[in-house]
Amino acid sequence: MMRAATCPRRRWVALVTAAAMTAVLTGCGFESLNSFHLPGTKGSGPGSYTVRIELRNALNVVPNTPVMVDDVTVGTIRSVELKDWTAVVTVSLDKDVVLPENATATIGQTSLLGAKHIELAPPTQDEPVGRLHDGSVVPITRSGHYPETEDVLASAAALLNGGGLGQLKTITTEVNKALGGREGTTRDLLHQVDTTVTRLDEQKASITRALDSLDRISGRFREQNPTIERALAAFPPALDVLNQERENLVNTLVALGDFGRQVDDVVTRGGDDIVRNVAALRPVLKGLADAGSSLHESLWQVGTLLFPLDTFGEVFRGDYINLWGTVDLTLPNIDRTLLSGTPLEGSLTGLHGLLGGTLGLGDQAANPLTAPAQQPPTPAPAQQGQGMAGQPQAPASPTPTPSDPSLLGGLVGGLLGGGSR
């Protein structure tokens, strides 16, 4: 009887306990084991701080997922939330984790079984700024994820099944057919390509300088863009002028063609004569060549009047110079200087004698610089019964009509240095 009474009472105790546990569990709620913070995880010790990370896609990230820096676990994910269609992951980091405030966050795969982690790293394209601290936020622009294993396998399957491996086989077969039996030629071609590439590598400095020069030239052209634009704008009017003068240009070219044919005809007909003339010039040119420096040195004496031309600059040191000289322009002197050895030699001397004997000017030549200051000599009186030069005086003849002494004496008197009678 006692045993039978004990069993019903135990059943009632079990039912009450189950009902109580159901009520407790129903009031508290329960998601999974990851909803509890595991003790002893990274980022849970004293001094740890929290950082929020915004993600476009949280993938399979769950609480208690590790946070790594350089493959070392430095923290733990505390929660994953959804705010305005953006996943916000809150992580807790150890106090000794030092990262710039513009650090990046990337979801990676820890193993092929699908375990995830979040990797924090300094920025690779920007300069590090500031430092992460409690409450910092990694924005969605600096977060992302690595390719998933299933994505990689799907891409590999697409490549193997329909990604072009069949075409690759066809290409390999055709290349083998093209190179079959031409291995030596192909090997030589590859050797030449290697030689060419090696020489180009040796000329890297020259190629770089050439490219730099082209860059500088391009820069100068860019600086001269307004000038180039003006030149290009001036081309159409110039082309219009050429178009208007096209007929004249054509006629000129035709005339040049006719002239060329005429020159060719002349050269063809007189070619032998031209050759002979050139051959005849050979001794003359040889003589000029043999003269050497004497020829051009003698040319300095051609223009010499008062001073040698090569010392002319050393004589005249100022803007002007005073000179004096005596110029003898008497007829005998001109005859001896200019007409000697010519058919006219002696003509001026005879004219001088004629003028001197007829007009009595022969003995009155004087220095033209001092003659105006001197009195002309007084001729000696002629003796009775004697004429000129001591000759007996001739019988008186009829007195001729006197001529004007200014006609001839005035014309040549100044030239001969004498005065008028």
Instruction: Please write the tens of the pLDDT for every residue from 193-224.
Output: 999 999 999 999 999 999 999 999 999 989 99
Is 276 a member of any domain?
no
| Cβ atoms of residues 63 and 34 within 8 Å | yes
Q: What is the three-state SS of 268-290?
A: HHCHHHHHHHHHHHHHHHHHHHH
Task: Name 415's Cβ contacts closer than 8 Å, sequence gap at least 6.
Answer: 329, 330, 331
Is 43 a member of any domain?
yes
Is 320 a member of any domain?
no
Tokens encoding 182: 């031409």
Q: How many residues does the chain have?
A: 421
Closest CA to 143 of 88, 94, 98, 95: 88
Is 40 a member of any domain?
yes
Per-residue pLDDT for 294 more than 80? no
Is 345 a member of any domain?
no
Is 326 a member of any domain?
no
For the chain, the domain total comes to 1
Lowest mean pLDDT among 26-40, 245-259, 273-287: 26-40
Is 421 a member of any domain?
no
Give residue-wise pLDDT tens across range 137-190.
999 999 998 888 777 887 777 777 766 666 777 888 888 888 888 888 889 999
Q: Where in the sequence is the domain holding 100, given as residue range(s)? A: 10-148
Alpha helices in 91-224 (DSSP H): 149-162, 165-179, 183-202, 204-223
Is 369 a member of any domain?
no
